[in-house]
Amino acid sequence: MMIDTFNAKVDARKDPPLRVELFDTTLRDGAQTAGISFSVEDKKRIANRLADFGMDWIEGGWPGASPKDDQFFEQMKGRDWATSKLVAFGSTARPGGAVDKDRGLNRLLASGADAVCIFGKSWDVHVTKALGISLQENLDLVSESVAFLKQHVETVFFDAEHFFDGFAANESYALSVIEAAATGGADAVVLCDTNGGSIPFPVFDVVSRVKKRMPNLVLGIHAHNDCEMSAANSVAAVRAGASHVQGTINGIGERCGNANLISIIPVLQLKVGVDCGVSAQRLTQLAALSQFVNEMANRLPWLHQPFVGQNAFAHKGGIHVSAIRKQSSLYEHIDPVLVGNTPRILVSDQAGRSNILSKLQQLEPDVDLQPDDPAIAEALQCIKTLEASGYAFEGADASFQLLLRRSMRRFKRHFELVRFRVFDEKRGHHSETEAEATVQVRVGGVMKHAAALGNGPVNAMDKALRAALVDAYPGLESMFLTDFKVRVLSTKEATEAAVRVLVESSDGQHKWSTVGVSADMLEAAYRALNDAIEYKLVMDKVPPPAESMNAQ
């Protein structure tokens, strides 16, 4: 019986619309995310980036809700967008007054936006309890507010707030609300899953029924992610006939967020075959757009974000890597290039020969090694031994590349450590700690010695080490640390536990990461710093001194 019912639903599906409009609400709904606060300049930069991407509608905020939104709309009056349209957001008129005199509606018209989107109540209990008015009064507010706005602005959208909950509680009234909006002249009626509690099958059913009842009405979907179904609900609504999709970049938004356009766009275009108005060339900008909004929001990117995350096409298991070397689609659901991403081959204790060869091709495409080369077997065994002791090469490509060079007998040290000493001194309870490092190294047959003060022992060691080497290798003067992470590998041993240090370095043009492990935190840091410097010299093709020893 359950199977028959399900099949009946599938058979009843209609073809999705050929073209879906994208409505971005990152600057309004997305700005309600806990911990995010866009400045006016941030909002302008995001809006212009969305317009460059080709978003159909860009909701800028609520005029009159805050000075920041007022400034944004004022400063955007000189915009020059090729196709995108700016939208101002607000509510239906307040009860008890003349609609044409309503302050909120008139602020929307004065904003200079190309279109207006207002929301109204479609759940009867919200009308009687939250607004405290009769159900008929609410219908009048909806139709009259839309009609008034349509006299002054070309495009008006109506967001039917809490529509799916309202439909479940009182189907007749929820439908009468969107009919009132349509009567007022709304260009699209957007069905909102405001509480985010809906799931795809009911969403499909409800949208299908609404579309059947009002076939000429443009329907939209506005889904929240409280059940982690907002993207799926949006796609289900499109499959049922919705041709207008609202969402945010990276799914930011209040509570658990909004429907994520970064996922919805490629799903609709690449999986469902629905045109979102995004060209193939612009689709390749998807990963960059995601990263840009993260930067503006001061958020770290989600490494596992579908389509655009750093690990979205990362392969670690040897069997997987072996397969994608033959045909990428065996373990990749799309070509990552289509959305501006790239595949990543991870090297770990789960790696096989295919991982090593693939990674080598990425890092050093000019080197030609065969799977049966002894260097591959040696590198693989070395990786597994090191990872058993706590090393991790997934985020340390530079250390991995040096390891490969050692296995291929293509690496010689540029310097040899003689000794280092680090002092950490604190004088008095409230004083700042002072760190000083002394380093002695041998370059060829010449002894080098340097000392440096630093902001902490690792910074002091880094400065002293490069100061000792800069006369022999002037290129190190441009090098600096950009990130430093320490992880305790086992909490059971407490202060005796080994630690893993990950260092990110840069010379202003390139960035690279190295790793070191030891029970002594400074020793682990030294190993990571040593690799960082050696990698810089290898990258710059600086020859090692004639008396250099092979590194093991």
Please list the pLDDT of the chain residue by residue as tens digits (552 residues).
Answer: 233 333 333 333 457 778 999 999 999 999 999 999 999 999 999 999 999 999 999 999 999 999 999 999 999 999 999 999 999 999 999 999 999 999 999 999 999 999 999 999 999 999 999 999 999 999 999 999 999 999 999 999 999 999 999 999 999 999 999 999 999 999 999 999 999 999 999 999 999 999 999 999 999 999 999 999 999 999 999 999 999 999 999 999 999 999 999 999 999 999 999 999 999 999 999 999 998 998 888 887 898 999 999 888 876 655 554 555 566 667 779 998 999 987 766 554 445 555 666 656 655 656 666 666 777 777 777 777 887 778 877 668 888 888 888 877 878 999 999 999 999 988 888 888 899 999 999 998 899 999 999 989 999 999 999 999 999 999 999 999 888 888 887 655 555 678 889 898 999 998 898 999 998 989 999 999 999 999 999 989 999 887 654 444
CA distance 329 to 336: 10
Q: Which residues pair with 135 in a beta bridge?
A: none
Residue 26 tokens read as 């990152």
Cα torsion 454, 495, 398, 343: sign: negative
pLDDT at 492: 59
Strand order in the sheet with 416-425: 416-425, 434-443, 446-454
CB-based contact 237:203 (threshold 8 Å): yes
Single-letter code of the amino acid located at 243: S
What's the N-to-C CA distance of the chain in angstroms? 68
pLDDT given at position 346: 56
Cβ atoms 45, 18 nearer than 8 A: no
E strand intervals along 14-149 = 21-24, 57-61, 85-91, 115-121
Amino acid at 319: I
Q: What are phi and psi of 88, to 5 degrees?
A: -100, 140
Identity (one letter) of the amino acid at 266? P
Contacts for 296-299: CB closer than 8 Å, 24+ residues apart: 296/38, 296/42, 296/45, 296/46, 297/30, 297/33, 297/36, 297/38, 297/42, 297/250, 297/252, 298/36, 299/35, 299/36, 299/250, 299/252
Cβ–Cβ contacts within 10 Å for residue 543, how many?
A: 9
Alpha-carbon torsion (314, 316, 320, 324), positive or negative: positive
Tell me the fold of 2-31+42-272. TIM Barrel (3.20.20)
The domain 416-539 is placed in CATH, from the list 3.30.160.270, 3.40.50.300, 3.50.50.60, 3.50.40.10, at: 3.30.160.270
Task: Compute the distance between CA of residue 198 and CA of residue 243 in angstroms, rounded to an integer.
Answer: 19
- CA 331 to CA 328: how far, in whole Å? 6
Distance CA 192, CA 194 (A): 5
Question: Could you tell me if 297 and 43 are in contact, meaning their C-beta atoms sit under 8 angstroms apart?
Answer: no
Q: Residues 455-492, buried b or exposed e (16+ Cβ, 10 A)?
A: eebbbbbbbbbbbbbeebbeebeebebeebeeeebeee
- Chain mean position to CA 271: 21
Calpha distance 75→529 (Å, rounded): 48
Where in 162-303 does DSSP place strands (E)?
188-193, 219-223, 244-247
Buried b (16+ CB within 10 A) or exposed e, 347-361: bbebbbbbbbbbbbe
Parse the chain into domains and list their residue ranges. Answer: 2-31+42-272, 314-388, 416-539
CA distance 316 to 356: 11
Distance set, CA 433 to CA 167, 423, 429 (Å): 64, 10, 10
Quick one: which of 403, 217, 397, 249 has its CA closest to 314?
397
Place of tokens 């009911």: 202
Residue 499 has φ and ψ, to the nearest 5°, of -125, 150
* Helices assigned H by DSSP within 224-326: 230-239, 261-266, 280-283, 286-296, 318-326
Assigned token pair, 279: 């060209």
d(CA 371, CA 163): 59
Task: State the DSSP H helix or E strand holding residue 161, giving kind and residue range, or none if neither.
Answer: strand 155-161
